[in-house]
Structure 1
Amino acid sequence: MPEPPPRRVPEPPPRQVSEPPPQVPGPPSPPVPDLLPFGTRAVPARDKTAWLVAEVRRAIAEGRLTPGDRLPPSRTLATALRLSRGAVTEAYRRLTEDGPVEGRGRRGTVVRAVPRTVPPRASTPPPADPFAPATGEAVFDALRELPARIDLTPGRPDLAAFPRAAWLRATRAVLAELPTASLGYGDPRGEPALRTSLAHWLARTRGLLVHPDDLLVVSGAAQALSLLGPVLRADGIDQVAFEDPGSLGVRQHLRRTGFATPPVPVDHAGIRVDDLRATGARAVLLTPAHQFPTGVVTRGARRRALLRWASEGGLVLEDDYDAEHRYDRAPVPALRTLLADRVCYLGSASKLLAPALRLGWLVPPPPLRDALVEAKRFADLGNDVLAQHTFARLIDSGDLERHVRQSRTRHRRRRDAMIAALARHLPHAVVHGAAAGLHLTLTLDTPVPDTDVAAAALARGVKVQPLSWHRVRPGPPGLVLGYAAVPATAIEEGVAGLGAALRDLA
């Protein structure tokens, strides 16, 4: 039987190769040459992070990067410049900390708005010697107008870190929700919404249990002192004792308000209450949580002695100017928590956010409250209503608390940078007040007047305040240095300039 022919297996059809699906383009990355116009050949072999920081700053200064421009994502820029992503990320972190840019989450890293430069008035010649004597009331204005490469003036928060995005969100929400009737004249005591928010804020941060009706919203601590002037004088008080050393600006304000300001010595434990009694003054202005400028915290025994003095008829004006800024210790309670009837509490947003807001609060003893409300009514009919509601929303949303936490971290780094720089360049200086606040105070082992040291530093482009400005009685020479508003690199350069100025005078 013949074999059947072999079965023919059909060849498989040719494999169809489908075209790849079209790629859906994502959002385009910012073109690197347009945003940062420098070539990869310019990247140095070392210090690449510092180089990138300098290039971004230069692009901002020359107008190639303008407010609102978005920097490339770190991965994109690292690829374009052949850098490690870590170097770019660190550069962005430094730029964010120092102020030129800010991170906005998914929106990336954006150039901040920068203030316009206003040329100095030609009609105002600089003073021949801006530091001696410091008796004129315009001494701070004169110093502020003098140019300096590095400004270590105390009392300034980091204004570049002002939470612009959070403030803008809060303002928009307020404008969207605020009833039309609220755009009229407000309550001279302050908007109920803000007084309620402040009552909660003070309870959380300062241990103050106050009712919203106990609070009076004012235009900063300066207005609080102006309102207190006629009210206290009507009660027969014509002297307000003052810490020595103590803030020259506040002392000037008290004198302008019509008070004599007998000085009371401050030592390592706070104000000396026996010396306070010896002045015969019925009122005293204190900074007990972080004394300006020494940084001393009023200790328990002195607090008890102060409260005994107050319970005998004295009045304490408690200026709680920077208590939120603390680093190495727990916060001390406000004096008003211990004797509400004899302590008038003053607080402000100036060190918390920015002096430009002109927002403060006053918690007076009950016998003074009605008179102070009347004084506020006839002074200005009350603060800006929109700003009050915006500030209240910033508190209620948690944005203010987040800002304080971030500021605390940044300020601690800058404080540490200043202490390290002082150890290198002024090793014989004694540092005071490092545990909290926005400034350090130095006492110097030199026969040279501190006003001469400050003038020599200014000649080198470094602006500081002499400690003697804030003294009434003689004391050791010293300097008061602010660190909160200055990047760490500038702090190092400024302290080095101080050391050089001091050596020149030796």
Structure 2
Amino acid sequence: MVWLASVGVSRDSELPLTSQIQLAVKREISEGVLRPGTRLPSSRALADDLRVSRSVVVEAYGQLIAEGYLEAVQGSGTRVAGHLAPAPRVPTLLDEGRVPAVRWDLRTGGAVSAHFPHREWAGAYQRALRGVGRAELDYPPLSGVRPLREELARYLGRVRGVRTTPEEIMVVQGFAHGLALLCSALPRLGIATVAVEDPGLVRQHRFVREAGLPTVPVPVDGEGIDVRALARSGARAVLLTPFHQFPTGVTLSERRRAELVDWARRTDGYLIEDDYDGDFWLARRPHPLALQRMAPDRVVYAGTASKALAPVLRLGWLAAPQPLLAALERVRGERDLGAEGLTQLACAELLRSGALDRHLRRLRARYRGRREALGQAVQRYLPGTAVIGADAGLHAYLRLPPHTDESLLVAGALRHSVLVRGGREFVTLDRRPPPALVVGYAGLPTTALVDALRELGRVWAGQPHGRRVAARSA
């Protein structure tokens, strides 16, 4: 057996054998082949492998330990030193890649999985596992296991007003997977362009383009997407977030809903409803129902378990009109063999037992408290700032006072260990909306959230306009 494949010696070299081993190990560490914490073979094993005296390896290891390249851990052998981890690259404020170590992370998509219902999920999984037979252990149906589709049809109808049947639901591996399937199915129905909200989730828009469909940005105002601008775009499909628009938090008005349905029918088009946080209506008044219920023949309803449970489950669903569902099934049959079945059965059991309802009730109470604390902290520490949109979801859109330098505030916040994104990061059209911050509050306890807003207020008050507003408020 070769114990350390990248290290070798040559007796024809002018360098001593010990030096050759040292140089080889240093090279492999510097090039990232030998990672921090990697356990090296014992001196005896490496000596046998290289056909050298054990004392040669002992001397080489000793020198590498003295120079800080290796560390000897009693009972655990010799390892590459942990402090040699590569320095992180310069971070950005995007959702992808590494981010700087900060005290307060206010980006959206925070650690919702911190509240994962471990006990309830384990119980649901065990009950589902006890009930599986040979058929359930075979390849799952392309559209998902029947029990989950039945429970989803009941649940979505009950809590979101979705008009669907188990036969019209496809279980997917998260929204990105469902969107990729849609991007391949739409051209088969003659639809070659997708309109998107602006501002919106830029990463999602890029995903659509990379899947082969051009996107057309359409502006959003206080009522939601501008349907007149959508009609001028020439698109016949639009991706939108009517419950709680991302990032502005606006709920699509009844007037715009009717206009959208009329547009879809006139153009023979489709509305793709991304109900990404529809489980979290936090206001103390009735919540808006799904857009899909107004036109099941023209709306694709998309939801996931990522925010209600955890992203790691990779579990989502599409409720689609029959022509589009048939195209989705054909596309999927060409690409994969369906989503993992046992997780689907466990989720069906979680829905059937009412455990998901109870879990979401607890989450809504927790997030309602954070949302209220955020609003109070904004009034106190960011005077003149308005929280825009509905009390819903897991983020808030803070419209800053006019003349605030948004980019300067974001950069200053980072220097004070607060990681937050500005509203203009989500805009693609050639316009400059009022300065704003997009604040996620799911990943921080209430006290930490208030502390982060206090620190943001200090940074804002240090700007020229902030000093003037603070002086007037005093």
TM-score normalised over the length of structure 1: 0.72
Letter in 1 for 2:116: F
- C-alpha separation in 2, matches of 1:124 and 1:374: 43
CA deviation vs aligned residue, 1:351-371 (integer Å, no higher than 9, x gap): 211111110001111111122
Matched, 1:428 2:384: yes
> Which stretch shifts more, 205-214 or 230-239?
230-239
Task: Give structure 1 stretches of 5+ with no counterpart.
Answer: 1-117, 132-138
Alignment root-mean-square deviation, CA: 1.9
**Mapped contact 1:241–1:283 kept (Cα < 8 A):** yes
Structure 1 residues 451, 201: CA separation in 2 closer, same or farther (over 3 Å shift)? same
Matched, 1:397 2:353: yes
- C-alpha separation in 2, matches of 1:231 and 1:297: 28
Equivalent residue, structure 2, for 1:317: 272
**Mapped contact 1:157–1:438 kept (Cα < 8 A):** no
| Secondary structure of the corresponding residue to residue 330 of structure 1 | coil
Which residue among 412, 420, 424 is the counterpart of 1:464? 420
TM-score normalised over the length of structure 2: 0.77
**Mapped contact 1:415–1:484 kept (Cα < 8 A):** no
Matched, 1:295 2:295: no
| Secondary structure of the corresponding residue to residue 225 of structure 1 | helix
- C-alpha separation in 1, matches of 2:197 and 2:264: 16
| Secondary structure of the corresponding residue to residue 323 of structure 2 | helix
> Which stretch shifts more, 249-258 or 411-420?
249-258
The structural deviation recorded for 1:189 is 0.7
- Number of residues paired by the alignment? 379
Equivalent residue, structure 2, for 1:141: 96
The structural deviation recorded for 1:186 is 0.9
Equivalent residue, structure 1, for 2:443: 485
**Mapped contact 2:113–2:307 kept (Cα < 8 A):** no
Equivalent residue, structure 2, for 1:216: 170
**Mapped contact 1:327–1:408 kept (Cα < 8 A):** yes
Structure 1 residues 487, 434: CA separation in 2 closer, same or farther (over 3 Å shift)? farther
- After TM superposition, list the pairs within 5 Å mapping 1:287-436 onto structure 2: 287-312=241-266, 313-328=268-283, 329-436=285-392
The structural deviation recorded for 1:380 is 2.6
- C-alpha separation in 1, matches of 2:463 and 2:171: 48
- C-alpha separation in 1, matches of 2:188 and 2:355: 41
Equivalent residue, structure 1, for 2:183: 229
| Secondary structure of the corresponding residue to residue 413 of structure 2 | helix
- C-alpha separation in 1, matches of 2:224 and 2:317: 24
- C-alpha separation in 2, matches of 1:186 and 1:120: 46
- After TM superposition, list the pairs within 5 Å mapping 1:45-124 onto structure 2: 122=86, 124=88
The structural deviation recorded for 1:422 is 0.9
| Secondary structure of the corresponding residue to residue 193 of structure 1 | helix
> Which stretch shifts more, 400-409 or 263-272?
263-272
- C-alpha separation in 1, matches of 2:172 and 2:406: 36
> Which stretch shifts more, 418-427 or 253-262?
253-262
The structural deviation recorded for 1:465 is 1.5
Percent of pairs with identical residues: 41
- C-alpha separation in 1, matches of 2:274 and 2:112: 21
| Secondary structure of the corresponding residue to residue 183 of structure 1 | coil
**Mapped contact 2:163–2:292 kept (Cα < 8 A):** no
| Secondary structure of the corresponding residue to residue 273 of structure 2 | strand
Letter in 1 for 2:411: A
Structure 1 residues 255, 452: CA separation in 2 closer, same or farther (over 3 Å shift)? farther
- C-alpha separation in 1, matches of 2:419 and 2:334: 39
- C-alpha separation in 2, matches of 1:478 and 1:303: 26
Task: Give structure 2 stretches of 5+ with no counterpart.
Answer: 1-81, 465-474
**Mapped contact 1:428–1:445 kept (Cα < 8 A):** yes
- C-alpha separation in 1, matches of 2:251 and 2:84: 40
| Secondary structure of the corresponding residue to residue 442 of structure 1 | strand
| Secondary structure of the corresponding residue to residue 264 of structure 1 | strand
Which residue among 193, 198, 215 is the counterpart of 1:239? 193
**Mapped contact 1:157–1:351 kept (Cα < 8 A):** no
